Chain A
Amino acid sequence: MSLDFFVSHYNYWVVIFLMMVGFYILISRGNLIKKIIGLNVFQTSVFMLYISMGKITGGTPPILIGDAHGGEAAGHVVYSNPLPHVLILTAIVVGIATTSVGLALAVRIKEAYGTLEEDEINRIEAQVEASE
């Protein structure tokens, strides 16, 4: 694997790094809020993946220049693919929704259990189960 390969694909390395960080937080942290943060980082890495793959070196925004009906200039403009941006706009909305539902649940859990630590909650549940 040459350095050149490494450098030219740097966006993917960033994505993989973010993905792993997010996933690690998700799994290793017991705090319910931190888990949601991990989930956000994890999802963001995917946004990066989409966005960066739509970009073409030297590409312009996808705006038609000159004659809209297939004139001379239109054929030669190199533009970035707009579709991934649109998709990720949707995905960001979905991500926000997920985060807000997750946070809302965390609030309710805090109200019901008095804690946000997973270990604590498990302990309380085990106690209740044993006393039943």
Chain B
Amino acid sequence: MGEGAGRVTAHLPILQVVVPLLAAPICAVLRHGRAAAWLAVLASWSVLGIALALLGQVMAGGVISYHIGDWVPPIGIEYRVDIVNAWVLVIVASIGAVVAPYAIASVEHEIAARRIPLFYAAYLLSLSGLLGIAITGDVFNVFVFLEISSLSAYALISLGRPRRALTAAYRYLIMGSVGATFIVIGIGLLYVMTGSLNMADLAELLPGVWDSRTVKVAYGFLGVGICLKLALFPLHLWLPNAYAFAPSPVTAFMASTATKVAVYMLLRFFLSIFGAAFSFEVMALDRILLPLALVAVFSMSLVAIFQVDVKRLLAYSSVAQIGYMILGLSFASVTGLTATLLHLFNHALMKGALFMALGCVVYRIGSVHIDAMAGLGKRMPWTMAAFVVGGLSLVGVPLTVGFISKWYLILGALEKGGLWIAVAVLVLVTSVMALVYVWRVVESAYLREFSGDEGTREAPLSLLAPTWVLVAANVYFGIDAVRTAGVARQAAEVLMAGIGS
């Protein structure tokens, strides 16, 4: 028994990916929607369990290196879990585990019955793809998992009810494939220079060829490709429509995980593989990202203010929030990176909660137009209360996770001194802009008369419960951020290793 458990524990890294990957085709062949749903719930919960166990192992015993098929790296593929990706795995798995049960009722309402098993298959594939990107220690493997997650994401988005979901998915497919191909080119060039695909191996070999133009070109291709995936302004054009027209659980899931994993890829490639020293000292990554991040945060917050479709409003807000994450990276300091990693987690929580609350609204009134939501505060008190808390978190009000992110971000800016105070001011000004766009919705919901169907009631418990789990997490990790900030800081130190700070 003990030995058996030990054997399972040793294989957790591969199980992390294989469990959802195998559950997906089973979902697809199950004819019954509910059966597929429960299988997906089961799979996603076990995935969360595995992710938490891995985080525990890493925190206790350091880096885990798992050799697939016992082929020793760098020849074989290695799964390598350190504190950074253990953290990302937990983020992705938690959101996956919360959205899966939420999807049951929501999907039955938004997607045709015959497609429901396929929905769960795509959902699990997407989940395993994202987890795979996070866990693998092999750069080509990253590409494969990236495509698994992206292809299933295209399918998921196209399941949205409005026909514009189709064009949104198509556009995402084109831009996403271009991004992925750029990444393959980058990987190929790295292979030309080093003859290796293993991340740890690459990290050792690359400093020897820093001067070569090929490495710099590879850096550029990878940068553009990944930034397309993470929707960094101005490569974000695919995102607003994709989020706005996808089915509600898909939006909640993607907004909280897909871009986060892309940010992880950025950090992994640029800070671990190329090395923080190369990125900041040779390639001047910080000076490239800083203006992009600032423009993203400011302009996208501004655009969000003028949206009337609330899902789209939050989509633009997501692009702005990604800007905050990149901003933290562009500080090129441990505090800044802590802010980035914290915001990965915190933004997943808040956007997850917000999009899920909107899913409840769609479930009842079929629209998230700001006028259609008028007076909903009285009709759907729990749903709108969830939206308010999530919104306050987005603004960065104390006692919510949003505040914690802002705190570290501003602290990071002030630490640098001098003109960086202007960056801190901009972060705060954009928070006020977030207040404006969140408040427009709140005002509509609470201070206007309800004009819709008289029979409109609160959303069912099966939707509310997962939503409130995330809302509660928003508050809990806002009050007790010592642990999350501790992990984020440790991860930031790992990433910044080799550069004085």
Q: CB within 8 Å of B: which residues of A?
A: 23, 26, 32, 35, 39, 42-43, 46, 49-50, 53, 83-84, 87, 90-91, 94, 97-98, 101-102, 105-106, 108-109, 112-113, 121, 125
Contact = CB atoms under 8 A, between A and B. Distances in A.
27 contacts: A26-B178, A32-B170, A39-B177, A39-B178, A43-B181, A46-B184, A46-B185, A46-B188, A53-B188, A53-B191, A53-B192, A84-B188, A87-B140, A90-B140, A90-B144, A94-B143, A97-B147, A101-B173, A102-B173, A102-B177, A105-B154, A105-B169, A106-B170, A108-B158, A109-B163, A109-B166, A113-B163
Contact of B151 (A46, A83, A97, A121): A97
Contacts of A109: 163, 166-167, 170
Interface in B141-178: 143-144, 147, 151, 154-155, 158, 163-164, 166-167, 169-170, 173-174, 177-178
B184 A91 contact: yes
B166 A50 contact: no
Contacts of B181: 42-43, 46
A113 B164 CA distance: 9
Contact of B167 (A23, A43, A90, A121): A121
B212 to A, nearest CB: 15
A125 B170 contact: no
Contacts of B140: 87, 90
Contact of A101 (B143, B155, B191): B155
Contacts of B147: 94, 97-98
Contacts of B188: 46, 49-50, 53, 84
Interface in B321-335: none
Given A26-B178, A39-B174, A42-B181, A101 B166 contact: no
A67 B268 CA distance: 42
A102 B163 contact: no
Nearest to B158: A105
Contacts of A83: 197
A39 B154 CA distance: 16
B178 A101 contact: no
Given A26-B178, A50-B188, A98-B173, 8 more contacts: A84-B188, A102-B173, A105-B154, A108-B166, A113-B163, A121-B167, A125-B164, A125-B167
A105 B155 CA distance: 8
B151 A98 contact: yes
A46 B71 CA distance: 27
A35 B192 contact: no
Nearest to A121: B167
Contact of B170 (A23, A53, A97, A105): A105
A49 B144 CA distance: 18
B444 to A, nearest CB: 17
B166 A112 contact: yes
A98 B149 CA distance: 12
Contacts of A87: 140
A55 to B, nearest CB: 12
Contacts of B155: 101
Contacts of A101: 151, 154-155, 173
Which of A42, A102, A113 is packed against the most chain B CB atoms within 10 Å? A102
Interface string B455-470: 0000000000000000
A75 B188 CA distance: 27
A42 B185 CA distance: 11
A69 B169 CA distance: 53
A123 to B, nearest CB: 12
B163 to A, nearest CB: 4
A26 B174 contact: yes
A51 B192 CA distance: 11
A-B interface, 7 closest residue pairs, ranked by CB to CB distance from nearest:
A112-B163, A94-B147, A105-B170, A109-B166, A108-B166, A98-B177, A50-B188
A128 to B, nearest CB: 8
A6 to B, nearest CB: 17
A84 to B, nearest CB: 7
A121 B241 CA distance: 14
B163 A42 contact: no
Nearest to B192: A53
Which of B147, B151, B181, B191 is packed against the most chain A CB atoms within 10 Å? B181
Nearest to B175: A26
